[in-house]
Structure 1
Amino acid sequence: MRMKPSRNLLLVLCSMLALGFLYYSSGRITLRGWGHKSLYDKQGFLLKLDGILPLELMFKYGNLSEGACKPGFAAAKMTAIYPKFIKLAPMFLDPNYKRFSRIGDYSPPFGIKSQEKIIDILLSATKNYGLGEELDSLSCKTCIIVGNGGILANRSLGQRIDEFDVVIRLNEAPVKGFEKDVGSKTTMRVTYPEGAIQKTERYESESLFVLSAFKALDFKWLRHMVFNQKLRSTDGFWKSVAKHVPREPSDIRILNPYFIQEASFKLIGLPRNNGQMGRGNIPTLGTVAITMALHNCDEVAVAGFGYNMSTPHAPLHYYEKIRMSAIRESWTHNISKEKEFLMKLVKAGVIQDWTNGICGAGC
């Protein structure tokens, strides 16, 4: 008879001890089970971004001569701060693009759903799906994404930019007349119909034209460009578009939309909006290009990036007089959240920012 109260008392005491331990551990100490989450932010990035290489990477890259390309460096550093990163996505769509099930689930800009027929036609016409034989054969590639920011003006970075294996430019940003600051080399120009260069004489003689499709209509536009057909209507575009792209079909590529999807939903954490383009859920083309480079380049640098809203009268672009305040009116982008993401990359040394526009004094 006396055993029951003792047993009940023991059960009560054990329960209280267990609850007490759970309460104490959740607030005071870090255990592997609970504390693991506290090491990372809600996107999955390490909270402590000090740029220090993990020990295994220090050994891997410590013996390379100064200035030598570091194989796998950007992806290794990215994985160190974002363990969910998987280097699996090629830059451009190729005939086997349907193996990426993630892009088949979404319509443009996050995928290729319902666009397979026209994409197959385009790919059969272009017949090329890489950077070109010389660049594709490199065992280590350095890449720089040249943004269009006014911060590039009068920095004299042109020669350093041209030293990269792959130079990525965006939209209609001009090169001619600005070589001292932005370089003269262009490996590829990533754009969409409304952002493409409209004056044919301004196209580089040797570069890849890369479409980043944001809507189904963009693929139809590209079909006209690839087959050199006259564009009879521009209905559905939000501003005027290029009527002709002076490139051979073999120099035209389609950007893998996986990078838009990954940048928006995973890396920045923009609203999914049921997989539709909506308010504040589209990354800028610059961030999409950086995401692409992290998957496909061994070392990644940027120049001409960064919107400084504290200087609304500063020039937005290096080549025109539009002011910084104009970006405030952007409907599709979330500049502040995007900047948070890019700052993580710079702080951790995943990418190098040559114009120091992403962090300013904040890194």
Structure 2
Amino acid sequence: ARRALRDAGRIERTRLERRLEKLIALHFNAKGQASTNSRAQPSRRASSFFDIDIKELRNLDAADLWKNMMQNQITPGSKADIRAQEQSITPWENDSDVSQCPLCSASFHPITNRKHHCRLCGRIVCSLPAKRGQRPVTCSLLFIADKKTGKIEEVGEGVDYGVRRRSSMGPQNKGKEKEALIEEEKFLQGVRICRECSSILKRQQHRQEAFHVPTYARLYEAFINLEKQIEDALPVFQELLLALNNDDQPTAEASAARKRLLEAFSQYDSLAKRIRTLPTPGPGSSQDRVQAAILTRASVFLQKHMFPLRTLPKPKKPISSPITEAETPVIDPDSNLAHVLQPLLEQEALLESFVEEAKAHRKFEDVQTLKSNLREIRSEIDKVLANADYEVHRQNG
């Protein structure tokens, strides 16, 4: 019995999900609306008087006769046509069979509490706001779907049982064309469903969110993976440094490890800056704060982990360098010296990666220019370190 109930629930849920897809296609699919509006008119007469059986004519009064004629003269794309298509998707409950809302027991009234049909199950419910003790939540809700992306969004009550699209334009988009502003204020018709059918809507929203991952979320995942790779590679690099035994020249393995780390740091920095420059709903929004926090995290990470790369003796470095690697002071990442060196070290790492890339593409003129810039950066770094060493000796002396 339990399995039968579970199967019945799954069948009912599947049926409601199909109805939801049809309703979205009916109301928010541009192609579907175009095809509905362009349906060919019937070749018979517009008046339905000639379609009425003579025998039925005797049993109809003037009001019923006029009603039948108007029902058969529905214009494609009109409200009456949309309603007829909605009823073909979901059978509606008869108005005369219901006198109060089945969810909150509020009595219906033609003016103060009108009847509304749920477009998924066909049941009649109210649209009254939430009220403590009677309606903890509303008995029905409206939703819209984006015609391009199909994204479903719940919206509040509006004029004439419709809704207005919530403004999503930030201050940075004020210069957009007037057409975008007109579209932003365009009046939309919401589709109503009851509270008990809202789980079907939320289920569909969850599926959409699972398939449509934001760009910054995908980049952040790559950012975290790269950070983990760097953290895993740093201990290996430190072991290679200890194995040098203060040799003048590094081993090929240590040089290759340093090169890989520099390239990883360059990619890490580029990813953080790319995430920060992605468009956001507006300054101060949650997404904007998240992207700013990611850039801050990257800066702290670079300051903390890029300094060990300076301890590896560079090949072909002149012996007469004013500051030897053995004399390089241990730098506190939180010191003023660290903040001065940080941008210089980042530039050095980027230039080294650019030099290797230019060599790989055989752009020898660019290689010479980049090497010249690299020498200037290294000279500036040596000056900063020399001044720091001088200050240390002066204070100790």
More helix by share: 2
Structure whose CA Rg is larger? 2
Higher relative contact order (CA 8 A, sep 6+): 1
- Do both proteins adopt the same fold according to a TM-score greater than 0.5, normalized to the shorter chain? no
Q: TM-score range by the shorter chain?
A: under 0.3
